[in-house]
Structure 1
Amino acid sequence: MMGHFSKALEKRGLERSDKPEVSTAEAPVPEVPEDLAAPGEETPEAPPLGIAGHPLVVLSDPWSYSSEQFRSIKTTIMFPEDGKTRRVILVTSAVPAEGKSFVAANVAAAIAGSLDNQVMVIDSDLRQPVVADIFSLPSEAPGLDAFLNNRCGLDEVIHPTHLEKLSVIPAGKTVENPSELISSTSMHHLIDDLKMRYADHYVIIDSPPPLFAPETVALSRHVDGIVVVVRNDKTSKKVVGEMLDKVDRTKVIGIVLNRHDVPFGRDRGYSEYYAYRKGRGNGSKS
């Protein structure tokens, strides 16, 4: 796998030969530090924009170390070192239940908090969708499944949220043929259409793990960048390497390490957070 990622994973105890325990249940509550506000400052109030266990921490706890990491991802997307514009970003994980939807939602909220940027979140996980719940959309809201099955037009499946500059295309109803729908030319045309119609938007796509969902492999070919979520206490380095082999490594712009120790003194004694490491995306293996 990429040397940069390999070192990061080894450093965080992912060099284990045991296979990860894979769960097909809905993603568990991500354990994010409930940090205190910075000294002398008051935490701004934010509306409850998510279901229990999936808060938008960049709003509810903006000075936390976790929020800092999400803003770091935002900066990498918006101001890449190589100067290349990346508007369509896929967020996925090595195995199920690693917190990818939580990460996608918070990265999108961080981008929406910028002065001049709008963002759209697409839930392409037609197996276990949760983005609609995170943003408190009504359960009957038409979504991606309806659009790809030609039951709704594009404008009908784009929904506003509590955040002025953030909109969502929810997954809609779970379907029996998610791979066929997401791998279809209609989905690819949708991405191209969004790039043209919403050229001033960033598009964040929440997508299931490519090792278990072949449609993510197809979808990854049509995006500008990929962010990978890895759960530190669950996923082996071998599995992460197998996952990266499924996608274009040159598009991987970073990795989010879920449930790992906070650097000493950073979060006043709290021990778990989302850590972000940038990847150079050179495609080399080591």
Structure 2
Amino acid sequence: MNDPGIASVERELREQLQLADKPVGHPAETSLLSPEQRREISIISASTASRAQVNAFRNLRTRLLAIAGGQSITTVVAPVSKGSGGSFIARNLAAAMAFEEGRNALLVDCDLLEPSQHTTMRINTDNGGLTDYLDSPAVEVEDILYETGIARFRLIPAGTAPRPDNEYFTRFKMRLLIDSLSYRYPDRYLFLDSPPVLGAPDARLLSHLADVVVLVAGYGRDTPEAIAEAAANFDPAKFAGVVFNEGV
């Protein structure tokens, strides 16, 4: 039997997310970073000198677009272990997705204990981030969407340090947020920067919210056994493959 109280809460949350998402759309960046500034924060641009690096991310983007089949998708980028470089791959994969007009990228920093995206990208997060939104009804979606200085690329930072007793990624509000952010706009591609797979269940929990999983292994760092153990955490139907990262 359905609980009418739970159904009422679900309706209210859906309405809040829909109302909050309406004015967001795809606003233009007020100030764009120069190629040099992008190099300083380890984000590729179409004019990056290292074409091999740019083309590597373009190839990853092409594979994801083929999987997407013309639809917006949510991709978890999960490092095998700490130091594998998952955040670097997630950030630049999102940037590559935003190269072309008609595609927008949204990166969500889901490494709640050791977030790095807002620091690396030098973004002031006075309005909070993901945990603040999930913990407080007063925080709205548009409050936590930040410009990155890159056209068609937005960031949701991790937010205030999480309370240890909270299971953020299993909350119904988290599911609604991801659904709203990824499916409301057909040209928006959502990337979830995950904590390391080994040692905690968070990456596996995030994969339940996503369409695709990309595993990041540190080249010469993560053993074949560790990579196989990490890959076994995910639904094979969602598993897009392993990216070997030579640097963080």
TM range (shorter): 0.7 to 0.9
Q: How does 1:1-286 map to 2 (within 5 A)?
A: 46-49=35-38, 54-58=41-45, 61-80=48-67, 83=69, 85=71, 87-150=73-136, 151-177=138-164, 180-259=167-246
Give the drift of 1:139: 4.3
Partners of 1:175 and 1:133 lie apart in 2 by: 17
**Cα shift at 1:170:** 0.6
SS in 2 for 1:48: helix
- Give CA-to-partner distance per residue, 1:57-106, whole Å, 9 cap, x none: 345625431221111111111123x8474511110111111111110110
RMSD after superposition: 2.3
| 2:198 aligned counterpart, secondary structure | coil
Separation in structure 2 between the aligned mates of residue 144 and residue 83 of structure 1, nearest angstrom? 29
SS at match of 1:171: coil
Percent of matched pairs sharing the same residue: 26
Q: How many residues align?
A: 214
SS of 1:79 mapped into structure 2: helix
Whether contact under 8 Å (1:126, 1:174) holds in the other structure is yes
Q: Structure 2: which 5+ runs fail to align?
A: 1-33
Asked whether the 8 Å contact 1:179–1:213 carries over to 2, the reply is no
TM-score between both structures, scaled by the size of structure 1: 0.69
SS at 2:55 equivalent: helix
Q: Which amino acid aligns with 1:123?
A: D
Distance 2:164 2:36 in 1: 36
Identify, as 1 or 2, the structure richer in helix.
2
Q: TM-score, normalised by structure 2?
A: 0.78
Distance 1:192 1:83, change over 3 A: closer
Q: Distance in 1 between matches of 2:69 and 2:49?
A: 27
- Report the residue type matching 1:232 in the other structure: Y
Q: 1:96 to 1:60 in 2, by over 3 A?
A: farther
Q: Which sections of structure 1, spanning at least 5 residues, go unmatched?
A: 1-44, 260-272, 275-286
Counterpart residue identity of residue 215, structure 1: D
AA in 2 matched with 1:122: V
